[in-house]
Amino acid sequence: MIKKARTNNLKLGFKNVFFRLGDIEDMPVDDNEADVVISNCVLNLVPDKSKAFAEIFRILKPGAHLSVSDIVTSDTLPEAVQKAAELYAGCVGGAIKKDEYTDIMKKIGLTNVQIQKEKVVDIPDEILQKYISETELNDLKASGLKILSINVYAEKPNIN
């Protein structure tokens, strides 16, 4: 992916875009270096989301922002769903509650946290039934739990 991104960047001729391979919990980027951080359905796969967001906060310049797309829930997923490798790889198993997700962002110091877009994601019953019983599936549906795709914007405060 890094090679492809760099190739595409060369074709477009951007001089202010950089791609680096690293872990989101330990990025190879200096403090206060990034103007923007973007992420697409990755943070919900990170076990320590607080550490990942703290790392993003560290590398953002004061006044800079992040824009992330991710999967969250309206309530806690059943444990069997959380532990299913297929659903984890599909960005569902690692999802946490939406309020918990945005609270983490606020606790590490990000401000102006805004959910800019939200869409319900439907997981087919036949997939869920691989991991939970029909009774559990019916209870899950009756609970009103929603799996949501969200786009979130937030800023690192500009310290003058």
Residue 15 lies in a domain: no
CATH number for 59: 3.40.50.150
Residue 134 lies in a domain: yes
Residue 110 lies in a domain: yes
- The verdict on pTM exceeding 0.85 is yes
Map the chain to HEC letters: CHHHHHHHHHHHCCCCCCCCCCECCECCCCCCCEEEEEEECCHHHCCCHHHHHHHHHHHEEEEEEEEEEEEEECCCCCHHHHHCHHHHHCCCCCCCEHHHHHHHHHHCCCEEEEEEEEEEECCCHHHHCCCCCHHHHHHHHHHCCCEEEEEEEEECCCCC
Q: Is the pLDDT of residue 5 over 80?
A: yes
Count of domains in the chain?
1
Residue 133 lies in a domain: yes
Residue 160 lies in a domain: no
pLDDT digits (tens, 9 = 90+) for 62-85: 999 999 999 999 999 888 888 888
Domain hosting 58: range is 2-9+20-155
